[in-house]
A and B are shown apart, each in its own frame.
Chain A
């Protein structure tokens, strides 16, 4: 049950964020437990001090590195950050974030669309973090984004998929892959996202801030697999009333 992202065949439906991980020493075990399709990193000013070998670990495990533009609050900042990431990491893939509000960390739809269009024109494979709005998702796909990444709930909230109907609407609205990108709290949230039709899930805090990040990573990896199996298996319809599963005939009286 593979899926395809920008022409690349993916066997894992889990993308992993590294933000919040207590120390990079956990990464090898976490990568082994999750087998992620990609791992996100952020671009920040170099302090000149050692960085704990984050990239070295990712390169050693041959995991695709997906830089993000986290923290950017304008299209201009996000575009420059994406270009710096391309130069630094040698990838033209970018998880595009343009944050519109420091409290909710919700995306700025206008800035996001502007930045996406500019980066697509510049040759990037753009994966935009967006609201769960099917109209915005379609606009992002129309300007050439390789996927759309609607939020399930606010970044780091762990509230799961607050509006399953909206996520299904996003899935129905676009022909590109849909990656649920924020709000995952536990394995059942990841399974639900896939059952709703998402191709993959990106989780960071759910894993990195869990009491046992490696165990939670493993749980989420199983969750997305369970969700994909369930999606393919064809769930029963939801009924307003009961429907007996045991035969009506032959009951004693």
Chain B
């Protein structure tokens, strides 16, 4: 059960969980793990590991 930080909150996920399992399939969403962007095409093959910091962001009104 890897323990992650997901958008700033602690989160435990089952072993073998990939980013694809966490990230909604939607226009305008992107993911970074430990400060590096993970391209859309690699979400399904990126298995989450203990201690990783995952940020999932989307476009909102701003600026």
Q: Is A19 a contact partner of B62 (Cβ separation < 8 A)?
A: yes
Q: How many B residues touch A, CB cutoff 8 Å?
A: 22
Does A110 touch B at the CB level, under 8 Å?
A: no
Instruction: Report B28-62 CB contacts with A as 1/0, cut-off 8 Å.
Output: 11111001010110000000000000011111111
User: What residues of chain A lie closer than 8 Å to B60, measured between beta carbons?
Assistant: 41-44, 51, 54
Which of A41, A65, A70, A88 is the one whose CB lies under 8 Å from B30? A88
Q: How far is the CA of A67 from the CA of B29 in the complex (A)?
A: 13
Q: Is B35 a contact partner of A40 (Cβ separation < 8 A)?
A: no
Q: Is B63 a contact partner of A46 (Cβ separation < 8 A)?
A: no
Q: How many A residues touch B, CB cutoff 8 Å?
A: 38
Does B24 touch A at the CB level, under 8 Å?
A: yes
Q: How far is the CA of A56 from the CA of B59 in the complex (A)?
A: 11
Q: How many A-B residue pairs have CB under 8 A?
A: 96
Q: How far is the CA of A113 from the CA of B60 in the complex (A)?
A: 26
Is chain B's binding surface mostly helix, strand, loop or mixed?
strand
**Closest-CB distance, B3 to chain A (whole angstroms):** 19
Q: Which of the candidate stretches A77-85, A136-144, A172-180, A210-218 sits at the interface with the other chain?
A: A77-85
Q: Is A45 a contact partner of B57 (Cβ separation < 8 A)?
A: yes
Q: How far is the CA of A44 from the CA of B7 in the complex (A)?
A: 10
Nearest chain-A residue to B6 (Cβ)?
A45
Does A163 touch B at the CB level, under 8 Å?
A: no
Known: A19-B63, A86-B37, A88-B30. 13 other contacts (CB 8 A): A18-B61, A18-B63, A42-B61, A43-B60, A46-B57, A54-B60, A68-B63, A80-B32, A80-B35, A84-B31, A86-B30, A88-B58, A88-B59
Nearest chain-B residue to A69 (Cβ)?
B63
Name the residue in A44, A46, A97 with the highest tally of chain B Cβ atoms < 10 Å from its Cβ.
A46
Q: Is B29 a contact partner of A46 (Cβ separation < 8 A)?
A: yes
User: What residues of chain A lie closer than 8 Å to B32, measured between beta carbons?
Assistant: 80, 83-84
Q: How far is the CA of A229 from the CA of B24 in the complex (A)?
A: 48
Q: Is A43 a contact partner of B63 (Cβ separation < 8 A)?
A: no
Q: Is B29 a contact partner of A88 (Cβ separation < 8 A)?
A: yes
Which are the 8 A-B pairs with shortest beta-carbon distances?
A42-B62, A40-B63, A88-B30, A87-B30, A68-B63, A18-B61, A17-B63, A41-B59
Given contacts A45-B8, A46-B24, A87-B39, whether A21 and B57 have CB atoms under 8 Å apart is: no
Q: How far is the CA of A165 from the CA of B32 in the complex (A)?
A: 43
User: What residues of chain A lie closer than 8 Å to B29, measured between beta carbons?
Assistant: 46, 88
Instruction: Report A23-46 CB contacts with B as 1/0, cut-off 8 Å.
Output: 010000000000000001111111
Q: How far is the CA of A48 from the CA of B6 in the complex (A)?
A: 12
**Closest-CB distance, B22 to chain A (whole angstroms):** 10
Instruction: Report A69-102 CB contacts with B as 1/0, cut-off 8 Å.
Output: 0100000100011011111110000010100000
User: What residues of chain B lie closer than 8 Å to A42, measured between beta carbons?
Assistant: 59-63
**Closest-CB distance, B34 to chain A (whole angstroms):** 10
Q: Is B61 a contact partner of A19 (Cβ separation < 8 A)?
A: yes
